[in-house]
Amino acid sequence: MKTTLILLGFLGFVQSLVRVPLSRLPSVRSRLRAAEQLDEFLREHQPDVFSRRYAQCYPPAQHYLSTGGKARERLYNFMDAQFFGQISLGKPEQNFTVVFDTGSSDLWVPSSYCVSQACAMHHKFKAFESSTYTHDGRVFGIHYGSGHLLGVMAREELKVGSVRVQNQVFGEAVYEPGFSFVLAQFDGVLGLGFPQLAEELGSPVFDSMVAQGMLDEPVFSFYLKNNGSEFGGELLFGGVDETRFVSPIIWVPVTQKGYWQIRLDAVKVQGALSFCYRSPQGCQAIVDTGTSLIGGPARDVLLLQQFIGATPTAVGEYLLDCVRISSLPVVSFLINNVEFSLTGEQYVRREMLNNKEICFSGFQSIDIPSPAGPVWILGDVFLSQFYSIYDRGHNRVGLAHLAGKS
C-alpha cells in the first residue's frame, strides 16, 4: 500500500508540469508570397485584422457576429501565425495541429461535416467515431477578414501534452471561409486568454485544467524559438522551465482581464525617438502569441518605420535593406521600469523568395481606441526574444531574458 501511494504521488507530480513542444512553420502570408498570390489576395480581401481580433477594445455593438442570438464570439485572424502544437480529441484519439493563442479563449477544430474547401485540406473531427463525445447543440460564429467561420458546440475528452481534460467544451467548424484557411498549416485554435473572451462558450481549456486539479500552479509559460528551424520552442502548463531563462522575472499586473493586457511605460528607439512617455498612464500592451508582428498606433509606427529606413509596399508591408540590418537602431520596450530591447537582427523578418533574401520590418500599424491609452501588440517578434509567463493566480505577466542571451 505504501509503495502504491508513493507511486501515485510521483505520477501526480509528473503531471503537474505539462510540456507541449511547438513547431515553427511558414505562415499563410509567407506561403501566399511564395506562390506569388499575396498581392492579389490582399487586394481582394483587405482584412481589417486588428480591429476584428481585438474587438474587446471597441464599442461592443460594432464588432461581434451573432448567430441566432445563441452565441457570440470575439473576432480574430491568424494569417501570420507560425507557431503550432499538437492536441488530441476523443476516444480513440483524433490528432489536430492548433495555434496556442493568448489572444483568444476558445477551442475549435474542423468538423467532418464541414462543407468548405479549407476543411478538405485539414484534419477533421469525426464525432461518430468517439465514445466520449457529447453534443451541445449551441452554434458559434467567428468573423475573419475573409468571411464567417461557423460551427456547433460539443463536449469531449481533450489530451494536451500528458494530461486528459474531461468534458471540455469546443467548437466543431462546419464552414471555414476564404483561401487563407486552405493554405493554413494548422487545423484549429486553442485559446489561452481569460474567460471573459469566451463567456458564451463555456470554460476555456486552461480553466478546465486548473479546475480539474491537473496543475500545481495556475500558470503557463512560452519559450518561442525563431532561428529558422522547424523547432519552435515549448509551451509549459503548470509552471516555468528555469533552464530556459535567467533571473530576474519582471512581473507586471494585468490591467484588463480578457486579453493578457498590461501597462507599457514607453517605447524607445535608441535614444532618438520615444512613444507613450507623454501620457501619464503610459500605453497599454496586449501580449499575444497568436500575432506574428509588433503592432502599435499608426502615427508612432510610421515614424518608427521611417527612422529605421523601412519603405512601404503596395500591400502595407515595410521592406528593409538586408545589408543594413546590423546597423539598425535598438528598439526598447519599457515595462515596469525595465527595458526589453530588440536589435535589428531580432525585429527584422527574413524570407527567401526565388533564391533571394527579402527583409521585412517586424512592426505593423494598428489603431485601437482604449480608455486606458494607446494599445501596442507584443506578438511573436517580441515574444521569441524573451521567456513569457502567464499567471492566472495573480493576474500578471512575467518576462525574463532567455538563457544564453544578454
Residue positions annotated with a catalytic role: 101, 288
Give the H or E element holding residue 331.
Answer: strand 331-335
Name beta bridge partners: 261.
256, 286
Annotate 338-369 with DSSP letters as a single string.
EEEEE-HHHHEEEEEETTEEEEEESEEEE---
Find out whether 160 and 117 touch, Cβ atoms under 8 Å: no
CA distance 56 to 257: 10
Q: How many CA atoms lie within 13 A of 52 on its CB side?
A: 19
**CA-to-CA distance for 339 and 267, rounded, in angstroms?**
9
d(CA 85, CA 158): 14
- How is residue 329 annotated by DSSP? P
The arrangement of strands across the sheet holding 331-335 comes to: 273-275, 266-269, 331-335, 338-342
Residue among 401, 398, 396, 359 at smallest CA distance from 384: 401
Is the distance from CB of 149 to CB of 76 less than 8 angstroms?
no
What would you report as the CA-atom Rg of the chain, rounded to the nearest whole angstrom? Answer: 21
